[in-house]
Structure 1
Amino acid sequence: MVKGWKDKLENHVNLNEKIFVDMKAKGNAEYDFCCFGVDGNGKLSDDRYMIFYNQKTSPKAEVSEEDIADGVRYTLNLSTIPDFINRLVFTVSIDGNKTMGEMNSLETKVYQSGAKDIEMTLGGNDFSNEKAVIAMEIYRKDVWRIGFVASGFDGGLSALLKYFGGEEVVSEPVQESVVAEPVKVSLEKKMEKAPELISLVKPLVFELKKKNLETTVARVGLVLDISGSMVPRFKNGTVQSIVNKTLPLAVQFDDDGELDFWFYGTTARKMNSVNLKNYTTAVPEDWKHLMLDLGGRNNEPIVMRMVVDEYKDTKIPAYVLFITDGGVNQKREIQNIITEASHLPIFWQFVGVGGKNYGILEKLDTMSGRYVDNAGFFALDDFKKVSNEELYARLLEEFPSWLEKIREKGMI
Structure 2
Amino acid sequence: MTSMRKGSNLPVPGTALRAVVSWRTDAPTPDVDVSALLLDGAGKVRSDADFVFYNQPSHASGAVRYEGKRPQPGEMADTVLVDLAQVEPSVERVVVGASADGGSFGQVPGLRLRVLAMDGTPVAEFDIGDATSETAYLFGEFYRRDGAWKFRAVGQGYATGLAGLATDFGISVDTDDTPPPPPTPAPAAATPPTAAAPAPQTPPGFGPPPPGYGTPAAPPFMPPTPAPPFTPTPAAPPTPAPPFMPAGTTPAAPPYTPPTATPPAPPFMPTAPAPAPPVAAPPAAQASAPMSLKKQKLITLEKQLSDRGELGLLDLTKRAAVSLEKRGLSEHTARVALCLDISGSMGGLYRAGKVQGLVERVLALGLRFDDNAEVDVFLFGTNGHSAGGVGLDSYRGWTDRMLQQWRLEGGTDYAAAMRLIREEYFGTSALRYGPVADRQPVYVMFVTDGHTTSEQQTRDQVMASSYEPLFWQFMGIGRSAKSVDAPMVAQQQPDPQVKQSRFGRRLRAMAANWSDGTFRFLEELDDLPGRYTDNANFFCVQDPANLTDDQLFDLMTAEYAQWLQRARGLGLITP
Which of these residues, 383, 399, 410, is aligned with residue 267 of structure 1? 383
> 1:279/1:402 Cα in 2 relative to 1: closer, same or farther (>3 Å)?
same
- 1:127 aligned residue: none
Q: Which amino acid aligns with 2:340?
A: L
1:347 to 471, 476, 486: 471
Residue in structure 2 matching 1:307, options 415, 421, 425: 421
- Relative to structure 1, the CA distance from residue 182 to residue 375 in structure 2 (aligned partners, 3 Å threshold; closer, same or farther) is same
Amino acid in structure 2 at the alignment position of 1:370: R
Contact 1:354–1:380, Cα closer than 8 Å, also in 2: yes
Contact 1:323/1:353 (8 A) holds in 2 = yes
Secondary structure at the counterpart of residue 305 of structure 1: helix
Residues 183 and 340 (structure 1), Cα distance of their counterparts in 2 relative to 1, 3 Å cut: same
Separation (CA, whole Å) in 2 of partners of 1:268 and 1:249? 24
Alignment partners' CA distance in 1, 2:548 and 2:297: 20
1:279 pairs, out of 395, 419, 435, with 395
Contact 1:183 1:189 in 2 (8 A): no
The alpha-carbon distance between structure 1 residues 199 and 359, as it changes in their structure 2 partners (threshold 3 A), is: same
Amino acid at match of 1:351: M
The corresponding residue for 2:555 is: 394
1:342-381 matches, cutoff 5 A: 342-354=466-478, 357-381=518-542
Q: Is the 8 A contact 2:321 2:368 kept in 1?
A: no
Q: Which amino acid aligns with 2:468?
A: L
Partner Cα distance (2:397, 2:549) in 1: 22
Q: Find the residue that maps to 2:388 and give its secondary structure.
A: coil
Quote the offset at 1:201 in angstroms.
Answer: 2.6
- 1:407 match: 568
1:166 aligned residue (290, 301, 322): 290
Partner Cα distance (2:350, 2:315) in 1: 23
- The offset of 1:269, in angstroms, is 1.4
User: Identity over the aligned pairs, expressed in percent?
Assistant: 32
Question: Corresponding residue for 1:230?
Answer: 346
Corresponding residue for 1:211?
327
CA distance in 1, matches of 2:458, 2:469: 17
Alignment-mate amino acid for residue 303 of structure 2: K
The DSSP-based 3-state class of the residue aligned with 1:215 is: coil
TM-score, normalised to structure 1, is: 0.54
SS at match of 1:274: strand
Q: Deviations over 1:132-162 (max 9, x none)?
A: xxxxxxxxxxxxxxxxxxxxxxxxxxxxxxx
- In the alignment, is the contact (CA less than 8 A) between 1:187 and 1:201 conserved in 2? no
Give the CA deviation at 1:191. 3.1
Q: CA deviation at 1:200?
A: 1.0
Q: Against the structure 1 CA distance between its residues 184 and 332, is the aligned structure 2 distance closer, same or farther, given a 3 Å change threshold?
A: closer
Q: Which moved more, 1:348-357 or 1:399-408?
A: 348-357
The number of aligned residues is 237
Counterpart residue type for residue 531 of structure 2? R
Deviation at 1:289, TM superposition (A): 6.0
Q: What SS does structure 2 have at the residue aligned with 1:361?
A: helix
1:325 aligns with 2:449: yes
Residue 246 (1) aligns with residue 246 (2): no
Retained in 2: the 8 A contact 1:265–1:291? no
Distance between the aligned counterparts of 1:374 and 1:186, measured in 2? 32
Q: Secondary structure at the match of 1:279?
A: coil
The Cα of 1:183 is off from its aligned counterpart by 8.8
CA distance in 2, matches of 1:322, 1:328: 13
Q: How does 1:8-407 map to 2 (within 5 A)?
A: 166-168=290-292, 185-192=299-306, 193=308, 194-285=310-401, 287=403, 290-292=406-408, 295-312=409-426, 315-354=439-478, 357-407=518-568
Change beyond 3 A, Cα 1:166–1:380? same
Q: How many Å apart are 1:329 and its aligned residue?
A: 4.1
Contact 1:220 1:320 in 2 (8 A): yes
Q: Is the 8 A contact 1:352 1:358 kept in 2?
A: yes
Between the aligned partners of 2:298 and 2:568, the Cα distance in structure 1 is 28
So what's the TM-score if we normalise by structure 2?
0.39
Look up the equivalent residue of 1:326 and give its one-letter code: G
Supply the distance in 2 between the matched residues of 1:280 and 1:381 (Cα, whole angstroms). 24
- SS in structure 1 opposite 2:445? strand
Checking the alignment, whether the CA contact within 8 Å between 2:358 and 2:544 is kept in structure 1 is yes
| CA offset digits 1:178-220 (Å, max 9, x no partner) | xxx7696144224333222122133211111110001211000
CA distance in structure 2 between the partners assigned to 1:195 and 1:257 by the alignment: 16
Local SS of the residue matching 1:206: helix
Structural RMSD (CA): 2.3
